[in-house]
Amino acid sequence: MTALNRLTMTEALTGLDRRDFTAVELTEAHIAAVESARPLNAFLVETPDQAREMAAASDARRAQGEAGLMDGLPIAIKDLFCTKGVATTAASKILQGFIPPYESTVTANLWQAGAVMLGKVNLDEFAMGSANVTSAYGPVINPWSPGPLGAWPRRLVPGGSSGGSAAAVAARCALGATGTDTGGSIRQPAGFCGLVGIKPTYGRCSRWGIVAFASSLDQAGPMTRTVADTALMLRAMAGYDPKDSTSVNRPVPDYQAALTGDIRGLRVGIPAEYRVDGMPAEIERLWDQGVAWLRDAGAEPVPVRLPHTQYALATYYIVAPAEASSNLARYDGVRFGLRVDGGSLSEMYENTRGSGFGAEVRRRILIGTYVLSHGYYDAYYLKAQKVRTRISEDFQAAFTACDVILTPTAPSTAFAIGEKMDDPIQMYLNDVFTVPASLAGLPGLSVPAGLGADGLPLGLQLIGRPFDEETLLRVAGVIESAAGITALPPFVA
């Protein structure tokens, strides 16, 4: 690892502009880091040749004075984004051998901005999970795991589903990574790995070319080491896309300009309902600390009510599997990836789907099919849709009294691989603070705010009004400076 790996995106851009180093040098340092971080299992596909080519092209553009927003910055791509000519697996065996003939809009936007692709990173299978343990290609190890590389006494999860993205950025293999968030998959791994991550408003980033999990919830977003970097990368990723009918046609602001540090008079909502039973005292203290920092900076904390919060998890785990069961019907052995032959067409379907999908994906398909089936649709799916509306209305009411909401990101620090694995409900509880904003389509951001007694990162979550990512970023910047975290993951320390 060299000094180039320690730079933030903003610092790297300054260095590139000053000709302190080239994009090729910056990229070589990150390719080497990717190689030495292989024991973390963060990368599913490494694309060093492509990275070198892209970096050389970037240096040429900069020499012509034509550098884009992220020109020359090496990043990692969650393997849920289709990348033209580069294997895309969704961490599932069923997509084995699938090489997309097209590029997702978000990744196309990033390449347009000059970013350099280091490779595709691991995730929970089809983004279903909170610990990156459901990947068909093995778990990812959190670089915050104590002990020397490869000799970890406790191998910690990086969170999920964007676990490979989080590990790659925390391990200084990449300056940033794309994530996707359906119920918390950007925010919770950002929290577990000491990173900043934002799930933008539903419709802010195009979903075109992203393997679908739950279409009414899925959103792409950046994961980086600083708030300024998240602001930069979000600007490059976001934008209207006629190919995604749910993408919204609004101009993309200069998010970095929002980082003024001035939050005087801002009303910060504190929802009592997020003080859930059994929340560890250190999480409660961190939350109180966050409130105190914002008050010191001139904001005004106000209590708000989100009365339907207690139903959010149950609602999410009906709506998301229902949509997943429908989206995953396309993997039938005919059009994409794996095919396992059988004596008849239905036997081929059964064999393919039976061996291609892992246990968690099969569980979601079963739940989803059940809640959508005749006789249960009204009792489960329709009821969940009604509760979803109530949850959304709770937020609308709260945002008449406040401008932004502050909560913890997750109910714990990173746990060990193997924990919570035989009890799906325990695993689902990880999402208790993140799913409400997802159901309401609102932007949510996680920012590192402290360390737990175990020395592991803890994040605070900010939830905002639709398309008010700027306020989230501005407030996150204040928390980031107040927290002043300097601790590094043992992997890079």
Residue 287 backbone zone (phi > 0: left; psi -120 to 50: alpha; other: beta)? alpha
The residue number whose beta carbon is nearest to ligand GLN equals 185
Question: In which element (H, E) is residue 397 found?
Answer: helix 383-401
Q: Specify burial of residue 363 (Cβ count, 10 A radius: 0-12, 13-18, 19+).
A: middle
Interatomic CA distance for residues 8 and 261, integer angstroms: 19
Which residue, 317 or 491, has its beta carbon nearer to ligand GLN? 317
Which among 258, 265, 195, 260 has a CA at the least distance from the CA of 231? 258
Q: Which of 161, 165, 315, 413 binds ligand GLN (CB under 6 A)?
A: 161
Which residue, 133 or 263, has its beta carbon nearer to ligand GLN? 133
Minimum CB–partner distance for residue 37 and ligand GLN (Å): 23
Interatomic CA distance for residues 316 and 384, integer angstroms: 8
Is 93 part of the annotated catalytic residue set? Answer: no
**3 state SS of 333:** coil
Whether omega for the bond prior to residue 161 falls within 30 degrees of 0, making it cis, is: yes
What is the per-residue binding string for ligand GLN in 209-228, x denoting contact by CB under 6 A? Answer: ----x---------------
- 47 touching ligand GLN, by CB under 6 A: no
Cα 320-323-325 angle, rounded to 5 deg: 105
Which residue, 118 or 128, has its beta carbon nearer to ligand GLN? 128
- Give me the catalytic one of 92, 161, 412, 438: 161
Give 2-71 as a DSSP string: -GGGG--HHHHHHHHHTTSS-HHHHHHHHHHHHHHTGGG--EEEE-HHHHHHHHHHHHHHHHTT---TTT
Q: Which of 268, 320, 439, 473 binds ligand GLN (CB under 6 A)?
A: 320
Which residue, 21 or 317, has its beta carbon nearer to ligand GLN? 317
Minimum CB–partner distance for residue 403 and ligand GLN (Å): 25
- 125 touching ligand GLN, by CB under 6 A: no
Which residue, 238 or 319, has its beta carbon nearer to ligand GLN? 319
H helices present in 64-117, as ranges: 105-112
Is 199 part of the annotated catalytic residue set? Answer: no
Q: Which residues pair with 460 in a beta bridge?
A: 408, 447
Which residue, 21 or 213, has its beta carbon nearer to ligand GLN? 213
- 128 touching ligand GLN, by CB under 6 A: yes
Is 386 part of the annotated catalytic residue set? Answer: no
Cα dihedral angle (467, 470, 476, 478), rounded to 10 degrees?
-150
**3 state SS of 300:** strand
Interatomic CA distance for residues 409 and 415, integer angstroms: 15
Minimum CB–partner distance for residue 128 and ligand GLN (Å): 5
- 127 touching ligand GLN, by CB under 6 A: yes
- Give me the catalytic one of 130, 135, 162, 185: 185
**3 state SS of 445:** strand
Which residue, 27 or 446, has its beta carbon nearer to ligand GLN? 446
Minimum CB–partner distance for residue 320 and ligand GLN (Å): 5
Count of residues in contact with ligand GLN, rule CB under 6 A = 13
Residue 126 backbone zone (phi > 0: left; psi -120 to 50: alpha; other: beta)? left
What is the per-residue binding string for ligand GLN in 430-449, x denoting contact by CB under 6 A? Answer: -x------------------
What is the per-residue binding string for ligand GLN in 168-207, x denoting contact by CB under 6 A? Answer: -------------xxxxx----------------------
Minimum CB–partner distance for residue 431 and ligand GLN (Å): 5
Which among 491, 492, 473 has a CA at the least distance from the CA of 481? 473
- 165 touching ligand GLN, by CB under 6 A: no
Q: Which of 72, 119, 129, 408 binds ligand GLN (CB under 6 A)?
A: 129
Residues labelled catalytic: 78, 161, 185
Which residues of this chain interact with ligand GLN, rule CB under 6 A? 127-130, 161, 181-185, 213, 320, 431
